[in-house]
Structure 1
Amino acid sequence: MNYKLVETFAVLARTLSVTKTAEKLFLSQSAVSHRLKKLEEELGVTLIVRSKGFKNIRLTDQGEVFKSIAIDWENINDKMQNFNSLSSTKKLTIGIIDSVNNYLFRDIYQHMTENSNVQLTIKTEHTREIYEQVGARIIDIGFVLHNIPSDQIERKTILEEEMVLATKNPDLIHQKSIKPQHLHSEDQIFMNWGCLFTMASSLL
């Protein structure tokens, strides 16, 4: 099986967007679609559910299972490519939420990479995936948005910020705190980040 097919699916499974996958891999959207179709043919299963125009994509049950396999293969491929340099450098792999990565860690990375003996690898993932990969020793340290109880992983809070709601709704302006139940679900913009996110959202 061609690794490029698996790599394309791994990126798509994270982004759930053909457009973003094409941008990350420097491919056309048609090339992404072709690779996905070829991978599904080789596996003999359907990995994603395609909606009209490819704007909304979700993984099938088989896709969710193959996602972890694809990520494992991706990590092994990275290790093979970097094998020659591992003996002379220290390797640090960080898993981090995309928003935190973009806004808080740029200066930290620059400082770390000034040490030529450190090989730094950054993986942007969702919180649950970071916990899973830390537990599996795929990544060394993770930065997440919320706590998931685990006896195998040491956790420490390093930053807390209040969320601010900007609104013109006079019924909400003078309230000291806002709960999700106070907001109308029909006015929300829903981002499909997978079945676990959808399940959690339905409980609010």
Structure 2
Amino acid sequence: MNLQDLVYFNRLAETLNFTATAEHFYVSQPSISMTLKRLEKELDTVLIDRKRIHKNLRLTETGEILLKYSTHILKSVEQAKEEIHDLKNQVVYFGFLPTIGGHFMAQLMPHLKKFSASMKLIEEESSDVMLDLVRKGQVPLAIIGSDRLTFAEDNLLQIPLKKEEMALWASPDNPLAKKDSVTAAEIQDELFISLAQGYTHQRIFKQWMKDNHIEQPQTLYTKEIQTALSIASSTHMLAFMSDILVEDRPRLVRIPIENAPQFYISLIVNKKLSNTTYFQTEFNEVLIELAESYGKELHKK
């Protein structure tokens, strides 16, 4: 059994059409037919029912089984090719959230010139998703936001970078925009917009509401940060956000919250990866040193 046979079979199983499959790979239709016969002979089974009593081709039970495993095999082969390519080209991986990581990249990149051509940014919008990738070793290190000051996990190294107080953001036309600060009691009847489940902000928002005994707040949830900010700037809804997500938004006014919850930004490193390349290890060490230096400067301030 060769990989190309599995590639052809997967496409045929998807289209259930010999002509369409052949055209997709720019080969003759008999080539696809021979591939199927070869697989069926090797596995001693019928994979696709081609009886004329059926108007269309259909996968048999054994065909379904082969499709399940061949899909996994081909995906694994592609991943192996990518990792081998990255190893040969000394690629380094860095978990990157555009909304948070972008704030630090301008300061980090001048010190990472050696790695700039080899850096592969693994992008996610959610810190929770990115943290899980680092935990599993799928991403070696990343800058994330969290509602926790520290992570008590043996396999993680955490370097604090920044701490912010959560705030409310409103249109200049909102009456609350003229206040120096607000209490939870003052805004319990307001309309809010917050990031949806899976985002750290949503968890902080819900906990803050619970701590301040605000029951069933009228809240619109969205997965898009820009959507939340656009709605807040054009309506009387209040966006619950950290400062780092609301840079350069002239149509929004920051309203401090008394006893505001904290938002912590850290570099998180999986320190127990066993298959890290020398180049990745060097990149990690440089980034850790930069993060520690950056964190110390912020602490002095």
The TM tier, using the shorter chain, reads: 0.3 to 0.5
Over alpha carbons, which structure has the higher Rg?
A: 2
- With CA pairs under 8 Å and 6+ residues apart, which has the higher RCO, 1 or 2? 2
More helix by proportion, 1 or 2? 1
TM-score normalized by structure 2?
0.33
